[in-house]
Amino acid sequence: MREAEIRELPGLVGEQVRVSGWLYNARSSGKLRFLVVRDGSGYLQAVVFKTGVAEKVWAEAERVTQESSLCVMGTVKEEKRAPGGVELQVEDLEIVQLCPEYPITPKEHGPDFLLNNRHLWLRSKRQHAVMRVRNELTFGIRDFFYRRNYVQIDSPILTPSSSEGTATLFETDYFGEKAYLSQSGQLYLEPAAAAHGKVYCFGPTFRAEKSKTRRHLTEFWMVEPEIAWMRFEGLLDLAEEFVSELVARVLDRCKEDLERLEREVSALEPATRRPYPRIDYGDAVEKLKGRGFEVKFGDDFGGDEETALADESGKPIMITRYPAAIKAFYMEPDPNDPTRALAVDMIAPEGYGEIIGGSERIGSYELLEKRIAEHGLPRQAYEWYLDVRKYGGFPHAGFGMGIERVVTWLCGLSHLREAIPYPRMINRLYP
Ligand code: 4AD
Ligand code: MG
């Protein structure tokens, strides 16, 4: 008897198979018992006829509890009404481990309870669908860059310096010296761009965010491309091409998952089409004022402002040329107005907020030196970063995209905590 994954069963009608998995749920109807088995690849209706199996098999089918691990053996039958169009007519059943009362039941549970049981919650249908979308997205990201001849450069997690401001640094002791968990791999990519031209990193990043919002995690995954000789306009085009291609890929390959999540796919379709609206920071401020927001030129935008700006467009929007004073130290000034930075934020529609932040990088050694001082950063920790401008300086640009923000948007979730397998937040480190 061959071992089969549930996903393969539609192609095995009439064959005898053995499927290993967990009991998702069960119901009885007289002399029939319907066991829904899941194995990660799908859900299978396994039918036990009291009169068609040994007494012991029937007893096991009656005894088996939710989330017990088990193997079912039988013949694959066509059944139009069952998921996948097939069911299993059970001949034998083996309980591997009988599960005591499972904490997560079909009834409503609060978010804290579910997060405390995240290790089990991952088995639930919705969570399963979210992780599959995340998987498609992350593979799509690597594929996007691989097809364009980028080289993946893994950046370190333990670092001597900050890249995105000192307010959100996690500090740790490094054999008597201070070290910080990386907020971004960008600074390490810039030297690598001088070695390979087009590079990217993709890994966990850390921010000691003291705020409790639905958009912030303390540990999140970021993908960051960095491209030698690329200018600001080219960066905007790349960001747009990247996001539109990824959304199209997920819509194409995750239909079932999005359906399970009851995600309105028509809301995502505009994002597959380029171009995306581009709006100057100054115009964005005016637009917000027109909508009754109390903002003035020079303010950073919060979640509410981002939501209002993205409102009417079904596509992500790109806000460009922010005041240099509210952005990171490494951003190239706008040649037409040096108080502005060649910076971009991409804002997802439907109130999902910023998904991308990027910029052209400062080219001048002297200016970078000045900015490091202005931001109160310890110069000696950035000597190597200044070297990028000393030994063959070159124009370059890049951006970072937070994976969980994008998964949250694609899946239509209400909070980032469901977009990562094990969320880390201000008051959550368990499990
Ligand atoms: O805008 P940020 O801070 O940009 C950087 O880190 C640059 N060094 C990137 C680059 O140019 N290479 O972060 C980039 C993205 C944000 O747009 C957002 O999607 C995500 O990272 N992000 C977070 N996601 C979850 N939780 C948080 N606390 C996040 N902070 C940023
Ligand atoms: Mg940002």
Single pTM value for the model: 0.97
Atom from ligand 1 closest to the CA of residue 222: 21
pLDDT, tens only, 412-421: 999 999 999 9
What is the residue type of 128? H
Phi, psi at 115, each rounded to 5°: -70, -35
* Any domain includes 86: yes
| Mean per-residue pLDDT, 12-20 | 98
Which residues face 359 on adjacent strands? 343, 398
CATH code at position 257: 3.30.930.10
The domain of 83 spans 2-97
**Sign of the alpha-carbon torsion through 138, 143, 144, 145:** positive
Same domain, 122 and 82: no
Ligand lying closest to the C-alpha of residue 426: 1
Confidence of residue 203 (pLDDT cuts 50, 70, 90): very high
| Spatial contact of 217 and 399, defined as CB atoms under 8 Å apart | no
* Any domain includes 15: yes
- Least Cα distance to 160 among 143, 142, 180 occurs for 180
Burial of 177 (0-12, 13-18, 19+ CB in 10 A): exposed
* Residue 324: both structure tokens together: 């240099």
* Any domain includes 23: yes
pLDDT, tens only, 329-375: 999 999 999 999 999 999 999 999 999 999 999 999 999 999 999 99
Please give the Cα distance from 19 to 131 (Å, whole number). 23
| Spatial contact of 70 and 33, defined as CB atoms under 8 Å apart | no
Residue bearing the CA closest to ligand 1, atom 18: 402
CA 355 to centroid of ligand 2, rounded, Å: 8
| Spatial contact of 48 and 35, defined as CB atoms under 8 Å apart | yes
Atom from ligand 1 closest to the CA of residue 218: 28
Count of domains in the chain? 2
| Spatial contact of 86 and 77, defined as CB atoms under 8 Å apart | yes
* Mean pLDDT across the chain: 97
Provide the CB-side half-sphere exposure for 389 (13 A, CA). Answer: 16
Phi, psi at 223, each rounded to 5°: -110, 135
Same domain, 171 and 240: yes
Last residue of a domain, one of 97, 126, 153: 97
Ligand lying closest to the C-alpha of residue 209: 1
| Mean per-residue pLDDT, 233-238 | 98
CATH code at position 62: 2.40.50.140
Q: Which of 184, 211, 326, 329 to mutate to test the pocket of ligand 1 (most atoms within 8 A of CB)?
A: 184
* Any domain includes 410: yes
SS3 123: coil
Same domain, 231 and 364: yes
Q: Give the containing element (helix H, strand E) for 356.
A: strand 353-360
DSSP for 3-53, written as a single string = E--GGGGGGGTT-EEEEEEEEEEEEEETTEEEEEEE-SS-EEEEEEEGGGS
Same domain, 70 and 172: no
Same domain, 37 and 134: no
pLDDT, tens only, 307-326: 999 867 799 999 999 999 99
